[in-house]
Amino acid sequence: MDNTDFLVEIGACTRVRSTGELKIKRGALLFLGKVNSIKELFPHYHVDFFNHRGNNPRWSDRVSDDEPSDDEMNLFNFYRIVYEKMRLLLQEGFQLDGQQLRIPISAFDETIRECLVNCLAHADYILGYPSTKIDVYDGWFRFTNPGKMLISPQQFWSGGDSRPRNEIIMKLFRLLGMSERQGFGGPLIYKTAMQHDYRRPEIISDIEHTEITVWNIDLADSYPNLTTDEKSALRFIAKGNKTHQLKISKRH
Protein backbone atom coordinates (compact mmCIF):
# COMPACT_ATOMS: atom_id res chain seq x y z
CA MET A 1 0.00 0.00 0.00
CA ASP A 2 1.01 3.58 -0.42
CA ASN A 3 1.02 5.81 2.67
CA THR A 4 -2.51 7.12 2.10
CA ASP A 5 -4.14 3.70 1.70
CA PHE A 6 -2.20 2.39 4.69
CA LEU A 7 -3.39 5.24 6.94
CA VAL A 8 -6.99 4.62 5.85
CA GLU A 9 -6.63 0.88 6.46
CA ILE A 10 -5.43 1.30 10.06
CA GLY A 11 -8.13 3.87 10.83
CA ALA A 12 -5.83 6.88 11.17
CA CYS A 13 -7.54 8.65 8.27
CA THR A 14 -10.98 8.51 6.68
CA ARG A 15 -12.34 9.41 3.24
CA VAL A 16 -15.40 11.61 2.82
CA ARG A 17 -17.62 9.36 0.72
CA SER A 18 -19.27 12.18 -1.21
CA THR A 19 -16.06 13.91 -2.28
CA GLY A 20 -13.24 11.39 -1.74
CA GLU A 21 -11.45 13.96 0.42
CA LEU A 22 -8.99 12.49 2.90
CA LYS A 23 -9.27 13.64 6.52
CA ILE A 24 -6.90 12.72 9.33
CA LYS A 25 -8.52 11.82 12.66
CA ARG A 26 -7.63 13.88 15.70
CA GLY A 27 -6.13 10.95 17.59
CA ALA A 28 -3.93 10.14 14.59
CA LEU A 29 -2.75 13.75 14.42
CA LEU A 30 -1.70 13.54 18.09
CA PHE A 31 0.00 10.21 17.50
CA LEU A 32 1.80 10.88 14.20
CA GLY A 33 1.57 14.59 13.40
CA LYS A 34 3.95 17.53 13.57
CA VAL A 35 3.86 19.51 16.81
CA ASN A 36 2.88 22.79 15.12
CA SER A 37 -0.07 21.05 13.44
CA ILE A 38 -1.06 19.34 16.70
CA LYS A 39 -1.09 22.67 18.54
CA GLU A 40 -3.42 24.21 15.96
CA LEU A 41 -6.15 21.86 17.22
CA PHE A 42 -4.79 21.27 20.73
CA PRO A 43 -3.15 24.56 21.81
CA HIS A 44 -2.44 23.21 25.33
CA TYR A 45 -0.64 20.08 24.08
CA HIS A 46 2.49 19.53 26.14
CA VAL A 47 4.42 16.34 26.92
CA ASP A 48 7.35 16.12 29.34
CA PHE A 49 9.76 13.55 30.73
CA PHE A 50 12.14 14.34 33.60
CA ASN A 51 14.87 12.16 35.07
CA HIS A 52 15.39 13.30 38.68
CA ARG A 53 17.50 10.34 39.78
CA GLY A 54 20.59 10.85 41.91
CA ASN A 55 18.97 13.50 44.15
CA ASN A 56 19.38 16.03 41.38
CA PRO A 57 17.92 19.39 42.53
CA ARG A 58 16.39 19.90 39.06
CA TRP A 59 16.79 17.08 36.52
CA SER A 60 19.58 15.32 34.66
CA ASP A 61 17.63 14.50 31.49
CA ARG A 62 14.51 15.87 29.82
CA VAL A 63 12.37 15.03 26.78
CA SER A 64 9.73 17.59 25.80
CA ASP A 65 7.85 19.01 22.84
CA ASP A 66 9.41 22.43 23.53
CA GLU A 67 13.03 21.18 23.77
CA PRO A 68 15.30 21.05 20.66
CA SER A 69 15.06 17.61 19.04
CA ASP A 70 15.58 15.86 15.72
CA ASP A 71 12.15 14.24 16.17
CA GLU A 72 8.69 15.75 16.02
CA MET A 73 7.50 15.18 19.57
CA ASN A 74 4.14 13.63 18.75
CA LEU A 75 2.86 10.84 20.99
CA PHE A 76 4.54 8.05 19.03
CA ASN A 77 8.00 9.60 19.14
CA PHE A 78 7.58 10.67 22.75
CA TYR A 79 6.57 7.12 23.71
CA ARG A 80 9.41 5.55 21.73
CA ILE A 81 12.12 7.79 23.20
CA VAL A 82 10.85 7.86 26.81
CA TYR A 83 10.16 4.13 27.02
CA GLU A 84 13.70 3.33 25.89
CA LYS A 85 15.17 5.78 28.41
CA MET A 86 13.19 4.21 31.25
CA ARG A 87 14.22 0.70 30.20
CA LEU A 88 17.88 1.73 30.29
CA LEU A 89 17.40 3.24 33.75
CA LEU A 90 15.91 -0.04 34.98
CA GLN A 91 18.91 -1.97 33.67
CA GLU A 92 21.28 0.42 35.44
CA GLY A 93 19.50 0.19 38.78
CA PHE A 94 18.53 -3.48 39.11
CA GLN A 95 17.46 -4.82 42.49
CA LEU A 96 18.67 -7.83 44.51
CA ASP A 97 16.32 -10.21 46.27
CA GLY A 98 16.76 -11.72 49.75
CA GLN A 99 19.31 -14.24 48.47
CA GLN A 100 21.29 -11.45 46.76
CA LEU A 101 20.18 -12.65 43.33
CA ARG A 102 19.28 -10.22 40.62
CA ILE A 103 15.52 -9.66 40.28
CA PRO A 104 14.39 -9.89 36.63
CA ILE A 105 13.47 -6.45 35.33
CA SER A 106 11.12 -7.81 32.65
CA ALA A 107 8.06 -7.75 34.94
CA PHE A 108 8.59 -4.14 35.99
CA ASP A 109 9.39 -3.28 32.39
CA GLU A 110 5.78 -4.27 31.62
CA THR A 111 4.61 -2.05 34.47
CA ILE A 112 6.26 1.10 33.15
CA ARG A 113 5.14 0.32 29.59
CA GLU A 114 1.54 -0.11 30.73
CA CYS A 115 1.69 3.11 32.78
CA LEU A 116 3.22 5.07 29.90
CA VAL A 117 0.65 3.85 27.36
CA ASN A 118 -2.23 4.61 29.75
CA CYS A 119 -0.80 8.03 30.54
CA LEU A 120 -0.66 8.99 26.84
CA ALA A 121 -3.84 7.27 25.65
CA HIS A 122 -6.15 8.49 28.43
CA ALA A 123 -4.99 12.11 28.65
CA ASP A 124 -7.48 14.91 27.96
CA TYR A 125 -5.52 16.89 25.38
CA ILE A 126 -8.26 19.50 25.05
CA LEU A 127 -8.05 20.30 28.76
CA GLY A 128 -4.26 20.17 28.57
CA TYR A 129 -3.63 21.08 32.23
CA PRO A 130 -1.61 19.83 33.97
CA SER A 131 0.68 18.69 31.18
CA THR A 132 1.20 15.03 30.37
CA LYS A 133 4.34 14.32 32.37
CA ILE A 134 6.54 11.42 33.46
CA ASP A 135 8.90 11.89 36.42
CA VAL A 136 11.57 9.31 37.31
CA TYR A 137 13.16 9.24 40.77
CA ASP A 138 15.38 6.79 42.63
CA GLY A 139 13.13 3.76 43.07
CA TRP A 140 9.87 5.21 41.79
CA PHE A 141 8.07 6.56 38.71
CA ARG A 142 5.18 9.04 38.51
CA PHE A 143 2.86 9.35 35.48
CA THR A 144 0.60 12.42 35.31
CA ASN A 145 -1.95 13.43 32.69
CA PRO A 146 -4.83 15.92 32.44
CA GLY A 147 -8.38 14.68 33.00
CA LYS A 148 -10.20 12.41 35.45
CA MET A 149 -10.11 8.64 34.93
CA LEU A 150 -13.22 7.30 33.18
CA ILE A 151 -13.30 4.37 35.62
CA SER A 152 -12.68 4.32 39.36
CA PRO A 153 -9.29 3.31 40.78
CA GLN A 154 -10.99 0.20 42.20
CA GLN A 155 -12.19 -0.79 38.71
CA PHE A 156 -8.71 -0.15 37.33
CA TRP A 157 -7.05 -2.49 39.85
CA SER A 158 -9.77 -5.13 39.37
CA GLY A 159 -9.48 -5.11 35.56
CA GLY A 160 -11.83 -6.10 32.79
CA ASP A 161 -13.27 -2.61 32.16
CA SER A 162 -11.57 -0.70 29.34
CA ARG A 163 -12.82 2.81 28.54
CA PRO A 164 -10.19 4.67 26.50
CA ARG A 165 -10.57 8.43 26.34
CA ASN A 166 -8.85 8.39 22.93
CA GLU A 167 -9.95 5.37 20.88
CA ILE A 168 -7.67 6.00 17.90
CA ILE A 169 -4.58 6.50 20.08
CA MET A 170 -5.29 3.27 21.94
CA LYS A 171 -5.91 1.43 18.67
CA LEU A 172 -2.56 2.60 17.26
CA PHE A 173 -0.80 1.42 20.43
CA ARG A 174 -2.56 -1.95 20.05
CA LEU A 175 -1.42 -2.24 16.44
CA LEU A 176 2.13 -1.73 17.71
CA GLY A 177 1.61 -4.54 20.23
CA MET A 178 2.01 -2.13 23.15
CA SER A 179 -1.45 -2.47 24.69
CA GLU A 180 -4.56 -4.65 24.82
CA ARG A 181 -8.25 -3.84 24.96
CA GLN A 182 -9.18 -6.24 27.76
CA GLY A 183 -8.45 -3.71 30.51
CA PHE A 184 -6.11 -5.89 32.56
CA GLY A 185 -3.21 -3.43 32.78
CA GLY A 186 -4.19 -2.43 36.32
CA PRO A 187 -4.09 -5.99 37.74
CA LEU A 188 -0.75 -6.57 35.99
CA ILE A 189 0.77 -3.48 37.63
CA TYR A 190 -0.59 -4.43 41.06
CA LYS A 191 0.42 -8.10 40.77
CA THR A 192 4.01 -7.18 39.89
CA ALA A 193 4.29 -4.97 42.98
CA MET A 194 2.91 -7.71 45.24
CA GLN A 195 5.11 -10.46 43.77
CA HIS A 196 8.31 -8.51 44.36
CA ASP A 197 7.31 -6.96 47.71
CA TYR A 198 7.40 -3.48 46.23
CA ARG A 199 5.36 -0.66 47.70
CA ARG A 200 1.86 -0.86 46.30
CA PRO A 201 1.08 1.51 43.40
CA GLU A 202 -1.07 4.55 44.13
CA ILE A 203 -3.60 6.48 42.04
CA ILE A 204 -4.89 10.02 42.51
CA SER A 205 -7.66 11.12 40.13
CA ASP A 206 -9.75 14.29 40.28
CA ILE A 207 -11.54 16.57 37.85
CA GLU A 208 -8.27 18.11 36.62
CA HIS A 209 -5.74 15.30 36.52
CA THR A 210 -4.83 11.66 37.08
CA GLU A 211 -1.59 10.53 38.65
CA ILE A 212 -0.25 7.00 39.12
CA THR A 213 2.91 6.29 41.10
CA VAL A 214 4.73 2.95 40.98
CA TRP A 215 7.75 1.82 42.99
CA ASN A 216 10.46 -0.75 42.20
CA ILE A 217 11.79 -0.83 45.76
CA ASP A 218 10.21 -2.49 48.78
CA LEU A 219 7.75 -0.79 51.10
CA ALA A 220 10.27 0.07 53.82
CA ASP A 221 12.88 1.50 51.46
CA SER A 222 10.24 3.71 49.85
CA TYR A 223 10.24 5.72 53.11
CA PRO A 224 13.83 7.05 53.21
CA ASN A 225 13.33 9.00 56.45
CA LEU A 226 12.71 5.87 58.53
CA THR A 227 15.47 4.49 60.77
CA THR A 228 16.87 1.00 60.23
CA ASP A 229 14.81 -0.37 63.15
CA GLU A 230 11.64 1.29 61.86
CA LYS A 231 12.20 -0.21 58.41
CA SER A 232 12.70 -3.68 59.95
CA ALA A 233 9.45 -3.32 61.88
CA LEU A 234 7.57 -2.18 58.77
CA ARG A 235 8.90 -5.15 56.76
CA PHE A 236 7.81 -7.53 59.53
CA ILE A 237 4.28 -6.04 59.57
CA ALA A 238 4.03 -6.05 55.77
CA LYS A 239 5.18 -9.68 55.57
CA GLY A 240 2.61 -10.75 58.16
CA ASN A 241 -0.16 -8.91 56.32
CA LYS A 242 0.82 -10.52 53.01
CA THR A 243 0.82 -14.02 54.59
CA HIS A 244 -2.64 -13.33 56.03
CA GLN A 245 -3.95 -12.26 52.61
CA LEU A 246 -2.55 -15.40 50.95
CA LYS A 247 -4.25 -17.63 53.55
CA ILE A 248 -7.58 -15.91 52.94
CA SER A 249 -7.28 -16.22 49.15
CA LYS A 250 -6.45 -19.96 49.41
CA ARG A 251 -9.40 -20.53 51.75
CA HIS A 252 -11.78 -19.05 49.19
Q: Cα separation of 186 and 159, whole Å?
A: 6
Using a CB cutoff of 8 Å and minimum separation of 24, what contacts does 82-90 make? Answer: 82/49, 82/116, 82/134, 83/112, 83/113, 83/116, 85/49, 85/51, 85/61, 86/112, 86/116, 86/134, 86/136, 86/141, 87/112, 89/51, 89/53, 89/136, 90/216
Closest CA to 44 of 35, 56, 53: 35
Q: Exposure of 59 by Cβ count < 10 A (0-12 exposed, 13-18 middle, 19+ buried)?
A: middle
pLDDT value for 248: 41
pLDDT value for 252: 42
Q: Which domains does the chain have, with CATH numbers?
A: 43-218 (3.30.565.60)
Q: Is pTM beyond 0.75 here?
A: yes
pLDDT value for 244: 44
DSSP secondary structure string for all residues of the chain? --HHHHHHHTTSEEE-TTT--EEE-HHHHHHHS-HHHHHHH-TT--EEEEE-TTT-SS-SEEEETTS--SS--SHHHHHHHHHHHHHHHHHHT--B-TTSPBPPSHHHHHHHHHHHHHHHHS--TTT--SPEEEEEETTEEEEEEES--SS-HHHHHH------S-HHHHHHHHHTTS--SS--HHHHHHHHHHHTTBPPPEEEE-SSEEEEEEESSBTTTT-TTS-HHHHHHHHHHHHHHHHHHHHHHHH-
pLDDT value for 8: 92
pLDDT value for 243: 52
Q: Cα separation of 193 and 248, whole Å?
A: 19
pLDDT value for 201: 95
Distance of CA 94 to the CA centre of its chain: 19
pLDDT value for 105: 57
Spell out the residues 6+ positions from residue 61 whose beta carbon is closer than 8 angstroms to its own: 49, 50, 51, 85
Tens digit of pLDDT for each residue in 171-213? 999 999 887 656 788 999 999 998 888 999 999 999 999 999 9
Tens digit of pLDDT at every position of the chain (252 positions)? 998 899 999 999 998 888 989 999 999 999 999 999 999 999 999 999 999 998 777 899 999 999 888 999 999 999 999 999 999 998 865 555 555 455 555 778 999 999 999 999 999 999 988 999 999 999 999 999 999 999 999 999 998 888 889 999 999 999 998 876 567 889 999 999 988 889 999 999 999 999 999 999 888 777 777 777 777 787 778 766 655 454 444 444
